[in-house]
Structure 1
Amino acid sequence: MEGMKMLAEERQQMILEMLKANQFVKVQEICSQTHGSESSVRRDLQTLEEKGLLERVHGGAKINYTLQNEPDMFGKASQHPHAKELIGKQAAQHVKPEDVIFLDAGTTTLAMVDYLPQDQGITVVTNGILHASALAERHIKTIMVGGLLKETTKAIVGVDALNQLSKLRFNKAFLGINGVDQDGYTTPDPDEAAIKEFALTKSQVTFVLADSSKFNKVSFVNVAPLNAATIIVEKLSAKLLHSFKSQTRIEEVQE
């Protein structure tokens, strides 16, 4: 992009990348990197602050650390367990005989495992350590993606994992997510975001499993736009349902 002006969305993405690397960035540094005017950059910072993605300070912006905070796997599992169980059960109904599916390392996708069909020839690819163990106990054919183990979420991430995924194709992908807002799906960690985004591109159909607490929440890294997946949720208020259903398919749990 050197020597060329960027679109606002491109500038804002670069600002977030600069913040991820440096924690703090000056307005003039952003102007230099993006070839944007100071007024444009300040508008970008205001937009990103309103979304909760950064905090404006004198002369620039600093990272919003709450966007990167992520409970460990067991902390996540204790949050909204009944909703996750309902969502996991409903999501499993989409799996058909002989399907090849991808489960990412989320706690809601982990709730799917007990409801997946046995003895129907399905194959599950996962980057979740706990998922692979649970699948093996149920004698479901499982392919474990290899790579760098992320301690907190027990997820396999990194270049090696992406290289393996690049050779695979899925009938369906099931992804957990940290934030769902009008701009799309977000998650705190860039490495996990890369896995989710890559799996989505390799799948014929993608489902995002998100309990209602994730709606109108934003995390640090964009994964995909809303229309890239069907959302399975336990139940939404009429207001939330109305605001999101025009942009993507919403599937509420049928108890």
Structure 2
Amino acid sequence: MLTEERQKYILEQLSHQKIIKTQTLVTKLDASESTIRRDLQEMEAAGLLKRIHGGAKQLMKLDTEPDMLEKSSKNLHEKQIIAKYASDLVKNGDFIYLDAGTSTYEMIPFLKGKEIHVITNSVYHANALVNLSIPTMIIGGTIRLKTKAVINAFSVQQLELLRFDKAFLGINGVDANAGLTTPDPDEAIMKSTAIQQSEQLIVLADASKFNKVSFAKVAEIDAGLILTNSLPEEDHAIYTQLTTIKELVL
């Protein structure tokens, strides 16, 4: 088989699965291990994949930020299950921070009746909270038209004056190496500041957020408790070693 044919096959396999083993390629392509290693070296140099011990994996593309409407329609059932569990962690008397995002938005119906104070940087969240007669403070600043989140330097200054019992954050990317990430650097600063001002961090991340990396880092993966409905099968052992992750049974 020609080099181009082998490498095309490797790319096709990686488009369906994130990791492929060298020995699997040796068997499937009827090629020597040295030939496969050479193929993988050439493909890594060309920016087509990343070599790992015993094989290769897909290159991760940085995610962009979808708008609130687009995000709200994705994985809704999973988000609601996670949100219900997260809301059970809220106790009477708590001052909690809910950052902008559809996962934290799904917590709001479950907070009704609790004797709490909520601080948020989301216009959507503030409106829903007030409609349920939940004492609410909204952070001031510039409203992002795409996400309806309030984010700028003034917003960060306000957060730095407050303290929370718990901060509940949505996140765009969760990766064992890259940590918690989001596309917007200003939003990353807001999230990081909320973490610093909170006694406890709870991150709501459905299965689609794992093995994803966005542009701006928020925190290390072990910065707080991460709630999810499912972990990636291929990296399940890696993530389950982290005591900061709880995989909910749906």
| TM-score clears 0.5 | yes
Partner of 2:108: 113
Give the Cα separation in 2 of the matches to 1:188 and 1:95: 28
Give 1:217's match in structure 2, choosing from 188, 212, 215. Answer: 212
Matches within 5 A, 1:43-192: 67=62, 69-118=64-113, 120-182=114-176, 183-192=178-187
Whole-angstrom CA distance in 2 between matches of 1:96 and 1:169? 16
Secondary structure in 2 matching 1:171: strand
Distance in 1 between residues matched to 2:243 and 2:62, nearest whole Å: 24
Amino acid at match of 1:145: I
Structure 1 runs not aligned, ≥5 long: 1-45, 52-65
Asked which structure has the greater CA Rg, the reply is 2
For 2:150, what is the secondary structure of its paired residue?
strand
Cα distance, 1:248 vs structure 2:
4.3
Contact 1:95 1:117 in 2 (8 A): no
Letter of the 1:171 counterpart: D
Alignment match, 1:201: 196
Alignment TM-score, normalising by the size of structure 2: 0.73
Secondary structure of the structure 2 residue equivalent to 1:175: strand
CA change 1:147–1:228 in 2 (3 A) is same
Cα distance in 1 for partners of 2:140, 2:243 equals 32
Matching residue of 1:60: none
CA drift of 1:222 comes to 0.4
What TM-score results when the alignment is normalised by the length of structure 1? 0.72
Is the contact between residue 63 and residue 213 of structure 2 (CA under 8 Å) also seen in structure 1? Answer: no
Structure 2 gap segments, 5+ residues each: 1-44, 51-60
The answer for the alignment partner of 1:17 in structure 2 is none
Give the Å deviation of 1:79: 1.1
Residue pair 1:101, 1:123 contacting (<8 A) in 2 also:
yes
Measured against aligned partners, the alpha-carbon deviations of 1:140-194 in whole angstroms (never above 9, x if no partner) come to 0000000011111110001111111011000000000000001210000011111
RMSD: 2.0
C-alpha deviation, 1:234, in angstroms: 1.2
Change (3 A) 1:106 1:78: same
Aligned AA for 1:167?
Answer: L
SS in 2 for 1:204: strand
Instruction: Report the alpha carbon displacement of residue 236 of structure 1 after superposing the two structures with TM.
Output: 2.3
What is the CA-CA distance between 1:241 and the residue it aligns to?
Answer: 3.4
The aligned amino acid for 1:165 is L
For 1:54-94, what per-residue CA distance to the aligned partner results, in whole angstroms no more than 9, with x for missing partners?
Answer: xxxxxxxxxxxx63621110000011111111111111000
| Structure 1: distance between partners of 2:228 and 2:175 | 14
* Residues 156 and 193, structure 2, Cα contact 8 Å, conserved in 1: yes
- CA distance in 2: counterparts of 1:192 and 1:49, whole angstroms: 30
Deviation above 6 Å: which 4+ runs of structure 1? Answer: 48-51
> Can you list the C-alpha shifts for 1:1-26, whole angstroms capped at 9, x where unaligned?
xxxxxxxxxxxxxxxxxxxxxxxxxx
Relative to structure 1, the CA distance from residue 80 to residue 163 in structure 2 (aligned partners, 3 Å threshold; closer, same or farther) is: same
Q: How many residue pairs were aligned? A: 194
1:226 aligns with 2:227: no
